[in-house]
Each structure stands twice: as C-alpha cells, then as structure tokens.
C-alpha cells in the first residue's frame, strides 16, 4: 500500500438491504487504494459472509450486536473494533445503501489527510443516481451549489471520513441520540478542539433520494436530540435562542398535526431527560462557526 494514512471502511447495516450492501462492498473492492481493514456491523441482525463472495481486499471483520443501537451506537461498535487493531489512521463510514461510483475515493481521502494533519472530518457529496444533490445535503446555510467545497461546520452521516487521532481527543458518536443530529454534535466538538471539518464534493457517494421523515421516530427524536445537542454543547445564553428559532421554524414548516405533536413531545423529553455530559463550546468556537457561515443558533 502507498505511503500515507492507513484507511479503514466501516458499514453499519440492519440486514434489510442485502443487495445494496453487496453493491456498496463491491464498489469498495474496486478502489484503487485498498483499505487496510473493512468492518461491517450487523445492527441487531446476523451478517452473511461477505469477504470471499465479493472478493473484498484487506482484513474483513463482521460484528453482530443483539439489538439495534441506532446509527451512532452502531458506528461506535465499529470504531471500538478498529481501535483493537491499532493500525488505522482514518475511518471512512458509509451508509449501507450508498455506492462509491468512482474508484479513486479512498485515494483522495488519503491524500487530503496526508496534506493536513489537523483535518478531522471530511464530508462527501451525496447525490442520487441522476447526479442530483438534495439541498439539505449541502452543509451550508442557503447553499445551492453542491460542487462548492471547503471548510464547513457540519457533515453528512451517509458518507464521511474521520481522523482516529481526532476521535481519541473528542470522543466517539453520541450513542444516546440513536438517530438525528449526531453529526452536528461531533462536528461542533471537532471544531472546538481545533480540527477542520471539510466538505469535499469530489468525493461522491451515490445514495437514493430520501426524506428523513420516512422514519417513524423522526419528529420525536429530532426534537429531543436538538434539545440535547444545545444542552450539551452551547454556552448558556445561546440555548434559548437556538431552541426558540427552531421552534418557530418547525411551526412554519411542519404541515402534519401528528408530526407537531410528536415534535413537541420529543422537545419535552429532551428537557426532562439527560442527553449526556455537558461540555459547552468556547466563545471563540461560536465565532469560528459564525465566520464559516453557520452561527450555532440556526
């Protein structure tokens, strides 16, 4: 393998997309830089034998957990196993229904981390089979051009790369979130610790066009986790500002009465229950997020 950071690929699946997982892993096998390791987590489901059937390169490890731990919890299982191997510098985490269309994605990831030792997170561009990127998948406020890269304040969970040295400093995914806003929590922690979060549109993950509201728990956990996010990460004066703005936006955008009920139920749940350790960002981080185009109140 060429010199540079050693890369692993991690995929979490619930076992309901076997064909998509096969296609994704086949696209990983076609990369012109082979990953040092591949970890596949069965999130509450059994796993088939992938390596021999698909001709995967590198060391392939399958892990089965008894219950669905959610997106962040499942990813933490994969990260824990990679730490046991101690030979990985960067982990590329991919949605199980994604696809690496280009064969040079891992090479480009390696080169980005080689060039910048303070690069913490790299977000991929997400596009459907027609090449269209949904506006919500562009990590900038009001962004219209998905091909404009650069430093940002957040990233997409569907396709991204994480520095293992960064994770050793800031910690893993917030498993208690289960689903929604876990990427923002990690990005804010990374930036607060002095790492760069980069959006690189040349790193393409093909992914079906979806709506987050397709999940039955969407409204409740989105509200609950937003409250937890602010309680965990924001200076006290910004918490009511952030939550007030998002309450108004939710009232303006949500057309479903049932959705609003679930949202306010989740909001109340977030106030009643602990979302984990409070470790607010510094005010200089607030200013850095603002200069990057997304102050942490919107």
196 token code pair: 């760069």
Residue burial 57-96, b: 16+ Cβ < 10 Å; e: rest: bbebbbbeeeebbbbbbbbbbbbebbeeeeebbbbbbbbb
Q: How does DSSP assign 176-187, residue by residue?
A: GG-SSSHHHHHH
pLDDT at res. 191: 98
Instruction: Provide CB contacts within 8 A for 121, sequence distance 6+.
Output: 155, 160, 161, 162, 163, 166, 186, 187, 190, 195, 196, 197, 198
3-state helix, strand, coil in the chain (%, to 5): 45, 20, 40
Instruction: Provide CB contacts within 8 A for 246, sequence distance 6+.
Output: 226
Q: Which of 95, 109, 98 is nearest to 36 (CA)?
A: 109
Q: What does the CA dihedral 129, 131, 135, 138 come to, rounded to 10 degrees?
A: 110
Q: Compute the chain's Rg from CA coordinates.
A: 19
pLDDT along the chain (298 residues), means of 10: 84 94 95 95 91 74 95 97 93 97 98 97 96 87 86 96 98 96 98 98 92 69 97 98 96 91 96 95 98 93
pLDDT at res. 213: 54
150 token code pair: 């650069």
List the domain boundaries for the chain: 7-210, 213-281
190 token code pair: 């990374």
CA 285 to CA 277: how far, in whole Å?
18
pLDDT at res. 86: 84
Task: Note the helical H segments in the chain.
Answer: 18-29, 51-54, 70-85, 105-115, 164-170, 182-192, 218-233, 238-253, 257-272, 283-291
Tokens 């942490």: give the residue. Answer: 296
- The number of beta carbons lying within 10 Å of the beta carbon of residue 224 is 28
CATH 3.20.20.80 fits domain 7-210:
no
pTM: 0.94
CA 112 to CA 200: how far, in whole Å?
10
CA 175 to CA 75: how far, in whole Å?
9
């Amino acid at each position: 393998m060429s010199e540079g950071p050693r890369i692993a690929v991690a995929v979490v699946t619930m076992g309901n997309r076997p064909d998509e997982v096969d296609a994704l892993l086949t696209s990983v096998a076609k990369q012109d830089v082979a990953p040092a390791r591949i970890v596949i987590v069965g999130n509450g489901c059994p796993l088939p034998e992938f390596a021999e059937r698909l001709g995967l390169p590198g060391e392939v490890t399958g892990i089965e957990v008894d219950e669905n731990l959610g997106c962040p919890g499942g990813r933490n299982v994969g990260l824990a196993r990679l730490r046991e191997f101690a030979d990985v510098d960067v982990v590329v985490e991919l949605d199980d229904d994604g696809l690496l269309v280009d064969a040079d994605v891992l090479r480009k990831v390696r080169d980005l981390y080689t060039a910048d030792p303070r690069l913490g997170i790299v977000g991929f561009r997400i596009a459907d089979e027609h090449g269209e990127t949904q506006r919500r998948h562009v990590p900038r406020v009001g962004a219209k051009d998905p091909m404009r890269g650069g430093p940002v304040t957040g990233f997409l969970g569907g396709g991204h790369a994480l520095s293992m040295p960064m994770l050793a400093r800031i910690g893993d995914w917030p498993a208690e979130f289960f689903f929604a806003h876990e990427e923002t929590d990690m990005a804010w922690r990374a930036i607060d610790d002095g790492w760069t979060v980069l959006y690189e549109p040349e790193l393409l993950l093909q992914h079906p066009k979806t709506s987050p509201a397709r999940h039955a728990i969407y409204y409740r956990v989105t509200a609950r986790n937003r409250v937890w996010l602010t309680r965990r990460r924001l200076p006290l004066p910004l918490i009511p500002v952030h939550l007030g703005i998002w309450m108004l936006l939710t009232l303006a955008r949500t057309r479903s009465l049932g959705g609003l009920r679930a949202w306010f139920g989740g909001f109340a749940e977030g106030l009643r229950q602990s979302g984990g350790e409070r470790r607010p960002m510094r005010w200089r981080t607030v200013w850095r997020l603002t200069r990057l185009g997304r102050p942490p109140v919107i």
